[in-house]
């Protein structure tokens, strides 16, 4: 199975914020943004492995900046690391200033997808070869995040999480 770069799974979803998608402060409703992130990340994971993929876990989401009504929102997703059957997808969210066109980072998230066959059984995926400095940083930290996610889900014992333990010793 041929390894792929994060660039090969890059998926960009650009859309506007409509009135039905906002909260009482006229900003984008968090759940709506999560859905957009999940959609872009799912396409990205599927581009990486060319299989059916399912969301296994939402590992991290940071809502650092609110997204006002009418904003143009760009969600960019790339596979940051692949394991045996699972893939970590990093999602960066940008809003575009209407007049200057300048892009401001609004949010980011990290999701885990698993490639499955027609019966829902996990199947193996290609490796990721990071290219840029940022991609290399995200690749390096991905195993720690996977172990944390598995520990929190009760699927790994804390004393087996070697990468996590290494942070504290
Ligand atoms: C995700 C799913 C396929 C995993 O099935 P499973 O029987 O737990 O399979 P495994 O234990 O072999 O795990 C498969 C991979 O997922 C990883 N994984 C499972 N749960 C995880 C979690 N919470 N966080 C991170 N990785 C996880 C495992 O580590 C393994 O990775 P690897 O093969 O790369 O090492 C299964 O739980 C599922 O179908 N869930 C529903 C998915 C879905 O419907 N999503 C949409 C929600 S509406």
Could you write out the DSSP letters of every residue in 59-90? EEEEE-S--BTT-EEEEEEEEEEE-SSEEEEE
- Cα(14) to ligand 1 centroid in Å equals 28
Quote the pTM value.
0.95
Length of the chain equals: 169
Ligand 1 mean position to 55 CA, how many Å?
8
The 10 Å CB-count burial string (b at 16+, else e) for 126-152 is bebbbeeeebeebbeebbbbbbbbbbe
- Atom of ligand 1 lying closest to residue 152 CA: 23
Just give the CATH number of 6-130: 3.10.129.10
Report how far ligand 1's centroid is from the alpha carbon of 103 (Å).
34
Every domain of the chain and the residues it spans = 6-130
Test site for ligand 1: of 51, 55, 56, most ligand atoms within 8 A of the Cβ? 56
**pLDDT per residue as tens digits for the range 60-96:** 999 999 999 999 999 999 999 999 999 999 999 999 9
Quote the ligand 1 centre to 113 CA distance (angstroms). Answer: 7
What is the pLDDT, as a whole number, of residue 112? 98
pLDDT at position 99: 83
d(CA 146, CA 88): 8
Q: Is the pLDDT of residue 23 over 80?
A: yes
Residues with a CB atom less than 6 Å from ligand 1:
54-57, 83-86, 112, 114, 116, 120, 122, 146, 149-150, 153, 155
């Amino acid at each position: 199975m041929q390894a792929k770069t994060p660039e090969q799974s890059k998926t960009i979803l650009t859309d506007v914020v409509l009135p039905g998608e906002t909260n009482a402060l006229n900003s984008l409703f968090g759940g709506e943004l999560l859905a957009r992130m999940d959609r872009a990340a799912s396409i990205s994971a599927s581009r990486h492995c060319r299989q059916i993929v399912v969301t296994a876990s939402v590992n991290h989401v940071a809502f650092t900046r609110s997204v006002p009504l009418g904003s143009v929102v760009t969600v960019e997703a790339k596979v940051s690391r692949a394991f045996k059957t699972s893939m970590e997808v990093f999602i960066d969210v940008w809003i575009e200033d209407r007049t200057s066109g300048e892009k401001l980072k609004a949010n980011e998230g990290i999701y885990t997808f698993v490639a499955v066959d027609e019966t829902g059984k996990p199947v193996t995926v290609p490796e990721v070869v990071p290219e840029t400095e940022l991609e290399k940083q995200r690749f390096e930290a991905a195993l720690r995040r996977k172990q944390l996610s598995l520990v929190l889900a009760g699927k790994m014992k804390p004393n087996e999480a070697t990468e996590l333990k290494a942070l504290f010793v």
